[in-house]
Amino acid sequence: MENMLQHSTCQNFGTDCKELIAMIKDPYAWPSFATELERVETLLICFPDFNIIHVPRARNQFSDFLAMTARSFHKKLHFIGCSIPVWLPSPPHA
């Protein structure tokens, strides 16, 4: 969300993590994540019409592949764009 603010006013997000959606909708039910959720609540103010939906991993294989590839770099990697960077490996075909 923080990186999106630097590049776009996109207000729609998707995740395969149902718990994340539950945390955002009812942060007080997740006291052990209070610090993280406080930051999310602060960021939500910047998105006038914020929306987050559940996208099952089976329907989101390409995004899941990109996330796993980014984690393999062992350093922070931020990319926001409309196309896949040429330096990323091709995803396996389902």
What is the sign, positive or negative, of the torsion defined by CA atoms of 49, 54, 58, 62?
A: positive
**Is 81 within the bounds of a domain?**
no
Please report whether residue 25 resides in a domain. Answer: yes
CB 92, CB 62: distance < 8 Å: no
Q: What share of the chain has pLDDT > 90, as a percent?
A: 17
Tell me the Ramachandran region of residue 88: left when phi exceeds 0, alpha when psi lies from -120 to 50, beta otherwise: beta
Task: Specify the 3-state DSSP secondary structure of 63.
Answer: helix
DSSP class of residue 88 equals S
- Identify whether 91 is part of a domain: no
Residue 72 has pLDDT above 90, yes or no: no
Residue 37 lies in a domain: yes
| Residue pLDDT, tens place only, 3-14 | 777 777 667 788
The three-point CA angle 49-8-30 to 5° equals 50
Total domain count, the chain: 1
For residue 24, the enclosing domain spans 2-71
User: What is the reported pTM?
Assistant: 0.60
For residues 26-53, give the mean pLDDT: 88
pLDDT at 85 over 70: no
Give the pLDDT confidence of 22-37 residue by residue, as tens digits. Answer: 999 999 999 999 999 9
